[in-house]
Each structure stands twice: as structure tokens, then as C-alpha cells.
Amino acid sequence: MTFKVFIDGRHGTTGLKIDERLSIRPEIEILTIPEDKRKDPAVKAEYINNADVVFLCLPDAASKESVALLKPGNTKTRFLDASTAHRTHPDWVYGLPELNGGQRERVKNAQKVAVPGCHASGFIMLMAPLVAGGIVPKDYPVSTYSITGYSGGGKEMIASYEEPATLPESMKSPRFYALGLAHKHLPEMQAQTGLAHQPLFTPIVGNFAQGMVVAVPLLPRLLPKKVTPADIQAYFAEYYAGEVFVKVMPLDAAPVLDNGFLPATACNDTNRAEIFVFGHGDQILLASRFDNLGKGASGAAIQCMNIMLGVDETTGLAV
């Protein structure tokens, strides 16, 4: 069976990756608007309503405009929105199949799926299970930080790193950003974990193209029950048992570290996310590592598409 796919915004970073991954799949027919018709709403509406799946790789406002082009009564066309426009919208299903026992089925049956943000994906994979299990209370004062490759910033940021013949000294080191503490991923980070308050989130961009590590520190003395790193690692292992794309690493992570370092790039070009637990009786550090362009963007979108179309979830994705 052939599925018709339209990538609205295929020239952006995420759209290009989705196009690249799907173009080699024989069961996928990618619908492409002629260049001179790209901005014609009537033409776009025709393509959207003829597609089985539409990927929205657009700014928020443009994503909403494209969804509005769906004809009344059209229940065939299904949307996967990579923008932040619908991630907390009640009519959209959050596209993280591993979120809980019923999320995969909700994705499968949905007409509209919101693809998670990259930073949010790593944070939610760490915190949602712990809040759901009562290990971390909903009112815990959560903080988190994340380091990402510059490709997550889109074409403009990619160009700022790759086009200069000599990179400015200020861009050679990791750089904190979103210092107004109002990053666009915060609403979904709170909503999908069940936290009573948004976490204090500090994102960092580094001088490397892709890869990501999201970290969450925990203080056991502030938790309702005494837990150790071993307890949390075992809990994660049970929670994610059977998940092909989420791998809980052993408590003794030394063999998979790089001389004691945790590089952000080890999952690049895969759809794999790795969960780590470090620490001791007084302090615990949780970390998730994945490709910000894979499980953090295009890979997650294609994983959800596979589920929605009823094909093997791993099709076209590297583990």
C-alpha cells in the first residue's frame, strides 16, 4: 500500500530531514507543490486534503493556518505538527508514544498529533515516570538544563556557526540562552509531566552540529520517600521495558562513558534515547541523551507516523 505524504515546510531543518528519511521508502509517495505555487493557499489546501499524512514544519501561526485548510468532514488526512502551536492543545495528541501505557494507542488513533520539542522530550522522559509513580511530588522545585547542537536553532543558527571562515571566540564555547526563563518548551514540559509548576530550565547551545543531553538534578532529602540512584534506575528500567527506542543504561555507566565524560553526540543519526542515573545517597543526577534531529525532531515525527499508519514502528529509523 502506498501512502501519500505532504511536508508543509520541507525546506526547513526538520522538513528536510523528514524528506530525506521518507524519500527512500518505497511505500511513501511525497507530494510536492511546484515552486511557483508554494504560497497559493488554494493549491496548498488541495495537497493537504489529498494527503494521507501532512507534516507541519512551520512557525506556529503558519501551522494553524495550514490546519484550517482541512475540509469539513475530511477524516482521512492526518496531521503531525512539529511546531509548538498544538503541544498543549486538548484536541491534539502528544507524540511521545513512550509517555505511558496508553499513549501509543492514542497516537495510533489520532488525526492530529503534536510532535514534542527536543528539550521537552528529554525532560519528559525523565520526569513523567517519576511524577506518575509518586517518587517526585508534583510540587517539587524542579530545575533542568540541556546542552544541544546548533542545528536545533534552525537555518539561521546553523549558518552563524558554519558559514564564517573563522568562528568568533564568543561562539567557540557553549552558550547559555533563553535567559528570560520563558523558553517555548516550558508549557509542554509542565503539562506532560503533571508538575504543579514549570521547571527552572536552562538551555545551552554548543559548537557542534547535533546531539543533546538533558539533565535533571534531584535532592533525595526533598522527596517523600527515601530513594537511591539504584532505586530510580530500576524504576526506569521497569517503566521503559520493551521500548525499542528508549534504553535505560546500567547504573555503572563507566563502560559507556568516554573516560568519565558524557558526550552529547553518541545517539546521532538514530531515534534512540538513552536514560542515565548518576549520584549517591545525598544527590542524584538524571540524564537523557539523544539526537536533537532524531528522537528530538524528525525521528520522533516519523515514529508517530509509522504508528498512525499501522506499519512497523521502527521502519526507516535507526535504533
Determine the Cα–Cα distance for residues 223 and 209; give it in Å rounded to an integer: 37
Closest CA to 185 of 12, 18, 60: 60
Catalytic choice (57, 118, 267, 304): 118
Q: What is the DSSP string of 135-152?
A: SS-TT---EEEEEEEGGG
DSSP strand pairing (175-176 vs 200-206)? antiparallel
**Which burial class, exposed, middle or buried, applies to 11 when counting CB atoms under 10 A from its CB (0-12, 13-18, 19+)?**
exposed
Cβ-count burial 117-155 (b if 16+ within 10 Å, e if not): bbbbbbbbbbbbbbbeeebbeeebebebbbbbbbbbbee
Grid cell locating 176: 547559555
267 a catalytic residue: no
Pick the closest to residue 86 from 110, 102, 53 (CA basis): 110
At residue 201, the 3 state secondary structure works out as: strand
Which residues carry out catalysis? Answer: 118
